Structure 1
Amino acid sequence: MRISQLTLTDFRSYAQAELQLHPGPNVLLGFNGVGKTNIAEAIGYLSTLSSHRVSQDGPLVRHTAKQAFIRAETHRGTRQARLEVEINPGRSNRARINRGNPVRATDVLGILRTVLFAPEDLELIKGSPGVRRRLLDDLAVQLRPALGRVRLDYEKVLKQRNALLKSIRHQGFTATHESTLEVWDHQLAEAGAHLLHARLKMLSALRPHVATAYQQLSGSVRTARLQYLSSLDAPEDPGSLSADSLDLSSLEPGSLEPGALAAGGLAPEGLDSGAPVPESQEENVDPAAQPGSLDVSALESCSREELTALMLQRLNQARREERERGITLVGPHRDDLSLSLDEVPVKGFASHGETWSFALSLRLAAYRVMVDDDPEEGARPVLILDDVFAELDARRRRRLAELAAEAEQLIVTAAVDDDVPESLLGNALRVESVDQISQVTLHEPG
């Protein structure tokens, strides 16, 4: 998989730019702040409809412009597609495929697959649980674009349910609230179980590749381990779960009445399905600190239907506390991913080199999972390494170059060519800033 031509219009620091990209390594050289990362970000956005740097689209549009465009000629084996994404902050984004009529931006998901590593990915180790949840969700959506809609559905229901719980907390609890909660419980459980099931599948696929990549990068005999931390307590017998087996006697039958959520004032609009589930301080609680014993292996063996039933059960059990606190306490928005070397947590205990190696291993493992998903010749995802090599010692730099060389197309950004291993110095482009407008030219060595 590769891009032969990339065109940016009013994207970040680019008024207009057109890049010719080749198979194999492509190196973007330039001083810090001239716009190299903006190109990497644009390619990643075309693939995932989200930025690795910001959560909103506003900063992606050049100052004074109202919208931005990313266009690319993509190749996947013998198939070719021209993609265009129109970024409209505050409004719905649009897309065109092969110069056709405008369609939903989400229709481009899955056409171009990318894996991007940037210094911000150290937050996978050091940052909040939401960063690690997004790793699993983004990978799942790239492999199965329909999960983007599930992700959006979960986000919408979660916002509505939280609005209702806040209303209950401030105004008191009524029978109408109970029946409305029942409706939201079932919608949240269905979407949440679908999302959780996808995450657990991604985790299972990632595990062996993370362990292998870490050993290849670091030369260490220690094993990189991943474990899912869920806000659900896994059942002793997953097969015993079904929607009919749950004790929901405390829930009064009813349906959603018109205007029942008016007090909450929430009706989300303009959300992109690629957007991560929003975080708040309360949503980043360590699931392992919650009551109960987590049997992760049992949880991973659950079907979607069993996870739905389990989530409904846990929501019912948490009903009183949720009403008191005014927030949803159960669901994938409160989960985390535990990262360790052997039995030692990486966060807070790993060295600088180990932290970089682990973060890189997570992205390289995602690359391998995509290759496994579609081993067809010409289908390997585009690999993007943004300002990485300058942070690595000579051994890790050499090993990363060897691993990255297998990509059909590799995009590397660096301040100077000395930062890039000689084996990767292929098509080199110079990025410069003139009057705060980024420009790209062919790099002449020396």
Structure 2
Amino acid sequence: MQHARIRTLSLSRFRSYAAARLQVGAGPVVLTGPNGAGKTNVLEAISFLTPGRGLRRAQLADIGQQEAHSSPLVQDGLHPWAVSAMVDGALGDVRLGTGVENAESTQRRCRVDGEPAGSANAFLDHLKVVWLTPEMDGLFTGPPSDRRRYLDRLVLAVDASHGSRVNALERALRARNRLLEDNGAPRFLDAVEHELADLAIAVSAARVETVARLGAEIATRHDASSPFPFAEIALEGTVERMLASAPAVEVEDRYRALLRDNRARDRAAGRTLEGPHLCDLLVSHGGKHLPAARCSTGEQKSLLIGLTLSHARLVAAMQGVSPVLLLDDVVAYLDSERRAGLFSALTALGAQVWMTGADSSAFSQLEQIEHFTVLPGLVQPA
């Protein structure tokens, strides 16, 4: 099994860092320091070496170093910034870079070995990144949209085209909703719904397949002695139910007919009321057969950690290369047994892992760590 690794990470005008450079070896990377020092900023920088808006889902204007107000490059609140990394990836050594070049930029630029890339999708050929942050602790009790977003990141790690399909689906939905609102001609609605149905089945099928694969991985690797409960997962939604009992070609025709039949209802509602944009990821505590939303806070955290580890193993099995794991402040609320179980699982996985915490003693059970101390605007070897 090949393990993708970041060897050097460089930040320029990123969040709290005017400039920073980390060079790391083979061991787990641990960043410790006081709250608010900028530990999560380092992990966020790595998360931009994948498609999307990073682990904070930030707007571009919020990322550049805010102390840069006096710079002539800054206009209308947009601050140039850059992240680059030397990576030992799926295709060998490569330099990945991304950022906002100037105040007129409306999107971040991406480069692979110094050459422009069309989008961050190009990074997926070299590196996959999986993360777990404290903001995800409410995943099971929050709205379905949070779980769909979480699911789509799971899918994206094994299917590089999924993000583009989801974006195209959202555009098609907006186009249909506008036509309904404006009483658009049936022939225009037919055309939009034809595209929408095609995209809906592609997105749903990818989600269904990933959930099935992840469920099988969880069942195969389930260890009754693990301190992390195993999850039972399923998808709930109109198209997803159709796909469970009929081939995709037939489901596409059925969903297209459903869209046509529901035009009056959807026009009255001001939105499309059936489709993969409304599906939900259902998660239960496997040992108790209890919905995750009804589990204790500690059990929900343990379920999330278990899901993250299972997803990382699935990515490694499907791609032949393990992903880089970003675990932000994960160990702080784990007791010693779960902490030891997490470290043991990470060692067995073999993937490069970056972890943050306020207390360096929380990582005392983890061997051969690459330890960095983080202070405001500064990161240095401990």
TM norm structure 2:
0.88
Residue 8 (structure 1) aligned with residue 23 (structure 2): no
TM-superposition CA deviations, 1:233-285 (whole Å, max 9, x none): 745xxxxxxxxxxxxxxxxxxxxxxxxxxxxxxxxxxxxxxxxxxxxxxxxxx
Aligned counterpart, 1:423: 366
Residue 398 (structure 1) aligned with residue 340 (structure 2): yes
Which whole-Å CA distance do the structure 2 matches of 1:305 and 1:320 have between them? 25
Matched positions, count: 363
The CA deviation at 1:135 is 2.2
Which whole-Å CA distance do the structure 2 matches of 1:233 and 1:101 have between them? 38
- Note if contact 2:158-2:319 (Cα within 8 Å) is conserved in structure 1: no
- Note if contact 2:60-2:107 (Cα within 8 Å) is conserved in structure 1: no
Which whole-Å CA distance do the structure 2 matches of 1:41 and 1:145 have between them? 20
Aligned counterpart, 1:25: 28
Q: Residue 177 of structure 1 is aligned with which of 170, 185, 203?
A: 185
Residue 79 (structure 1) aligned with residue 92 (structure 2): yes
Q: Residue 227 of structure 2 is aligned with which of 198, 212, 218?
A: 218
Which whole-Å CA distance do the structure 2 matches of 1:228 and 1:353 have between them? 24
- Note if contact 1:150-1:194 (Cα within 8 Å) is conserved in structure 2: yes
Residues 81 and 233 of structure 1: CA distance in aligned 2, closer, same or farther (over 3 Å): closer
TM-superposition CA deviations, 1:219-246 (whole Å, max 9, x none): 65xx5211111133745xxxxxxxxxxx
Aligned counterpart, 2:47: 44
Residues 389 and 312 of structure 1: CA distance in aligned 2, closer, same or farther (over 3 Å): same
The CA deviation at 1:102 is 5.4
SS in 2 for 1:48: coil
Residue 337 (structure 1) aligned with residue 352 (structure 2): no
Q: Residue 68 of structure 1 is aligned with which of 77, 81, 102?
A: 81
The CA deviation at 1:161 is 1.6
The CA deviation at 1:424 is 4.1
TM-superposition CA deviations, 1:150-187 (whole Å, max 9, x none): 1221121112222222334xxxxxxx432221111111
Matched AA of 1:385: L
Aligned counterpart, 1:371: 316
Which whole-Å CA distance do the structure 1 matches of 2:100 and 2:247 have between them? 37
Q: Residue 204 of structure 2 is aligned with which of 196, 203, 208?
A: 196
Residue 439 (structure 1) aligned with residue 378 (structure 2): yes
- Note if contact 1:5-1:72 (Cα within 8 Å) is conserved in structure 2: yes
Q: Residue 217 of structure 2 is aligned with which of 209, 212, 225?
A: 209
The CA deviation at 1:425 is 5.5
TM-superposition CA deviations, 1:309-333 (whole Å, max 9, x none): 2321221232221011111112111
Q: Percent identity?
A: 29
Which whole-Å CA distance do the structure 1 matches of 2:222 and 2:55 have between them? 22
Q: Equivalent residues in 2 for 1:128-207 (5 A)? A: 128-168=143-183, 176-207=184-215
SS in 1 for 2:322: coil
Residues 205-214 or 331-340, more deviating:
205-214
- Note if contact 2:201-2:248 (Cα within 8 Å) is conserved in structure 1: yes
- Structure 2 unpaired stretches of 5+: none
The CA deviation at 1:11 is 1.4
Aligned counterpart, 1:229: 236
Matched AA of 1:52: L
Residues 68-77 or 187-196, more deviating:
68-77
Aligned counterpart, 1:266: none
Which whole-Å CA distance do the structure 2 matches of 1:55 and 1:335 have between them? 24
The CA deviation at 1:55 is 4.8
TM norm structure 1:
0.76
Residue 350 (structure 1) aligned with residue 295 (structure 2): yes
- Note if contact 1:35-1:432 (Cα within 8 Å) is conserved in structure 2: yes
SS in 2 for 1:154: helix
What is the Cα-based RMSD across aligned positions, in Å?
2.2
- Note if contact 1:381-1:407 (Cα within 8 Å) is conserved in structure 2: no
Residues 154 and 99 of structure 1: CA distance in aligned 2, closer, same or farther (over 3 Å): same
Aligned counterpart, 2:304: 359
Which whole-Å CA distance do the structure 1 matches of 2:18 and 2:225 have between them? 41
Which whole-Å CA distance do the structure 1 matches of 2:52 and 2:367 have between them? 28
Residues 191-200 or 96-105, more deviating:
96-105
- Note if contact 1:123-1:131 (Cα within 8 Å) is conserved in structure 2: no
Rg: which structure is higher?
A: 1
Which whole-Å CA distance do the structure 2 matches of 1:95 and 1:304 have between them? 35
- Note if contact 2:27-2:368 (Cα within 8 Å) is conserved in structure 1: no
The CA deviation at 1:374 is 2.2
